[in-house]
Structure 1
Amino acid sequence: MTGKTPAKQTIGEKLKRHRKANRLTQEQLAERADLSIEIVRKLEQNVRRSTSLATLHALARALNVPTTALMGDAAEAAARAEPDHRPLSLAAIRRVVAPVRGLNGTLLTLPAGDPPTLDVLTGRLRAVDRTYQRNNYAEALSVLPPLLADVRAAVDIANDRDRPDAYALLARTQHLTGNLLIQLRAGDLAQTALTGALDAARQCGNEDVAATVVQGMCWLLMRQGRLAEAAELATATADQVEPRFSRATPTQLAAWGWLLVAGAAAYARDNQPGVAADLVDAAQAAAVRIGERAPEPGHLMMVGGFDSGRVQMARVENAAVAGDPGRVLDLARLVPAGPTPVGSSWQRHRLDVAWAHAQRREHGDATAVLVELRHLAPAWLRQQRYAREIVNVISDGRRRAMTEDLADLASVVGYTP
């Protein structure tokens, strides 16, 4: 017996079904979600087949359903409809992340000569990690391809004693590569890099390394609008690696804490704030337990950057996702002054603060935060759709022409009035 595969519902069809189930008119839904009636109409009529994740979340809050309940066949396109900023070539990094292999599996291009020692390669990785944290993506993009090629070659020639360390180094290198590609909106290539990182982590048998790679994969899934998968992956992995506090190392606590923060971010965006709050509370317990016991020197940012300040940023982020600008600003006062070791986390937090000021029509304060980010991390800011949405709010709320600072910001983030 054969049957037809059910057609996927569009965002508009799902939105209309949930609106009617709540006995709301389009006007009432738009008012509840603090959106224009035109957005609701165009979505339901499928004139607009994709929209931002923030808009979907606002509609989900108004309808009291998970955000994923509204995602149709255009969900991924909606989450990834970013400004087309491609100032950096990805050709070199693509060759090492997805190398060409022949019929027998041999790489088309093999590195010449023996690779450097693992100690030398580890030093190079730490250097490019610092470069990445300084938001110097152009330099990181030029340094990572030869490093990744050398690390792969080191794995190939490693003896039994060195092989676990070589695979751990490969996992960390591919993880950092994946993070960079996520920042550059190269999602499919990032997934290839992170999948390779997870494979290498399994080979080395280091659960802490594997857990931090999974956190990177959760970040990617959220960027793709795959909220339920990100939430499930983060919490399932956290359950698997949950340390015993009495004997846990700072590294184990940090790896677990990062997973909890990732799960909280996914649940918050899927309109499940209670679950998100519980996960943040658990992450805070890990941060308190770490206290002043810093992880061993030389770890990458995904271990060394976890502390109570990062957990407080998660609370701020969840308040922003819930659409509560007043709470965002109240909670942000408890965040230590930055920047922090994990540069992108601090910068993302500052965008939440800018958003809150913009929502409260404090346009000067919002612009000042964005100008701060413009000077601190221009390459990072250029990739942030969130920043473009904030500039949009500021621009729409002003009665006068754009200031020079705001016009410059609009140009950087790709906003056209």
Structure 2
Amino acid sequence: MDAVHEIPHGPTRTVGTKDPRTVAAAGGADSSTPEDSVPDHTDRDLADRVLAIRKRRRLSQLDLAGASGLSLSYITKLENRDPSCRNPRLATLRKLAKGLGSGVTTTILQGGQGDAEPADTATLDIWEPVRHALAAPPEADGDPATAAEVRAELLRLQSEMAAHNYEAMAADVPSLLRASAAIDDRGLRSHSLGMVGWLLTQNRQWDDAALVLDQAIEAADDETTAAAAVATRVWGELRQGHLDPARALALEWADRIEPKFSRASLGQLAAWGRLWLFVATIAVRDNRQHEYEDAIGLARAAASRIGREVLTEASTTRQFGPITVEHVAVEAAALTEQPRLALTIAERTPAADLLPGAAGRLRHRLDVANAHTQLGNWGDAMGELNSLAAAAPEWIVQQRYSRDIVGAMIDRRRTLTEEMRELADLVHLEV
């Protein structure tokens, strides 16, 4: 049976409840009493932090192993600074934080370290012309483009983005950058830069993505347009395991663009709701249970107000609505190793009919594959993964999550099928 639901699904508190920013100021997810507070010893290494908190909580190594779901051998090696335990993954740190108990967040254990996977050489080569165009954009040939032409190109590239034709987009983006720089339209310039930032983030080129997204935010002529680039910036920090910067940026902008529900546009509601979904997903990884509940409750309020799935950004295929909120609930259950809950939520959530092949929807299918893997449903897991590989090969190879799922499957299987070996090669799983 699954463990007690640590991050439950179902009716949650909405707009009038405790604000996660209040939780943030308190310094933890559940720091309700002084003796439970945990100092953030960023000047000490992980072994010291785990050992100090474990002893303060009167936990043995065996207690911590049982509470975290990690092996006693791993806990012992970690505290003894075994080289095999250097730079643990974010998921491992989350389990340690959970095992150490209330008030201990993943970020306390991180000590400022990230969890990034850089782009491989082949990916960097594909995007070299884009980086060159960003560094020194050449003058456009012939007559300058019009705003209508840039808008049409953004729409065309958005459909390419939905089809995950990233290599083709890498060839076309330099001309979009030149054209958008030549017109007097800040909104279109921001959308164009935001699209490039999203693509670079998707393809794991973190520093270049951050620079261009900051330019997109600066170029925007209104806060809703800027918030699209901010959301991508938050996503990039999250993909690198930088939980504190991602959380701070999402909270800052959620506060900055908070709409009046009676008068807000769809774009304003969606931008605000998306930022709260990011706060929710960050809270899951940071062992902040109550913050997750509050954040997803706020996102659910915005989605309920809209009443359907909407696509309000010109620079991405990022959607928002009731289905998107439930997909984040599935993600939370899968990441906290509650696979039956994840599958139950997935099964009762209506199928998405707006851009079902967009990146966010494919990520949801990875969460479903992860849940099946946790349950040992190899056929169902392989079915999801093979379907994703066939539909979006350029997307799945950029997903560290796909490698994690395939790696977990291989670790748990005594024998591998040829299909599993082929999938491991496709996603570039290191042996």
Give the TM-score category using the shorter length: 0.7 to 0.9
What residue is the counterpart of 2:23 in the other structure? none
Q: State which of 147, 153, 156 in structure 1 corresponds to 2:182.
A: 153
What residue is the counterpart of 1:163 in the other structure? none
What pairs up with 1:66-215 in 2 under 5 angstroms? Answer: 66-72=105-111, 75-76=113-114, 79-81=115-117, 84=120, 86-87=122-123, 88-99=125-136, 109-154=138-183, 158=184, 166-201=185-220, 204=221, 206-215=222-231
Q: Does the C-alpha gap of structure 1 residues 352 and 82 become closer, same or farther in structure 2, counting only changes over 3 Å?
A: farther
Distance, in Å, in 2 between the alignment partners of 1:7 and 1:382 is 34
Q: State which of 47, 50, 54 in structure 1 corresponds to 2:87.
A: 50
Distance, in Å, in 2 between the alignment partners of 1:197 and 1:333 is 38
Q: Does the C-alpha gap of structure 1 residues 324 and 143 become closer, same or farther in structure 2, counting only changes over 3 Å?
A: same
Residue 244 of structure 1, CA deviation: 1.2
Number of aligned pairs? 385
Give the alignment's TM-score, normalised by structure 2.
Answer: 0.83
* Unaligned runs of at least 5 residues, structure 1: 1-5, 100-106, 159-165
Task: Write the deviation string for residues 191-214 of structure 1: whole angstroms up to 9, x where unpaired.
Answer: 01111111111xx2x111011111
What residue is the counterpart of 2:262 in the other structure? 246
Task: Write the deviation string for residues 129-167 of structure 1: whole angstroms up to 9, x where unpaired.
Answer: 11112111111111112111221122xxx3xxxxxxx11
Give the alignment's TM-score, normalised by structure 1.
Answer: 0.86
- Letter of the aligned partner of 2:300 in structure 1? Q
* Preserved CA contact (<8 Å) 2:118 2:206: no
Task: Write the deviation string for residues 62-119 of structure 1: whole angstroms up to 9, x where unpaired.
Answer: 112111010135x22xx114684634522111112233xxxxxxx7x43334421011
* Preserved CA contact (<8 Å) 2:129 2:174: yes
* Preserved CA contact (<8 Å) 1:10 1:46: no
What residue is the counterpart of 1:275 in the other structure? 291
Residue 274 of structure 1, CA deviation: 1.6
Residue 289 of structure 1, CA deviation: 1.5
* Greater relative contact order structure (CA < 8 Å, 6+ sep): 2
- Letter of the aligned partner of 1:376 in structure 2? A
* Preserved CA contact (<8 Å) 1:97 1:192: no
Q: Does the C-alpha gap of structure 1 residues 72 and 397 become closer, same or farther in structure 2, counting only changes over 3 Å?
A: same
Percent sequence identity is: 35
1:10 aligns with 2:26: no
* Unaligned runs of at least 5 residues, structure 2: 1-40
Q: State which of 243, 268, 274 in structure 2 corresponds to 1:227.
A: 243
- Letter of the aligned partner of 1:146 in structure 2? S
Residue 293 of structure 1, CA deviation: 9.1
* Preserved CA contact (<8 Å) 1:208 1:251: yes
Root-mean-square deviation (Å): 2.3
Residue 381 of structure 1, CA deviation: 0.9
* Preserved CA contact (<8 Å) 1:250 1:295: no
1:60 aligns with 2:97: yes
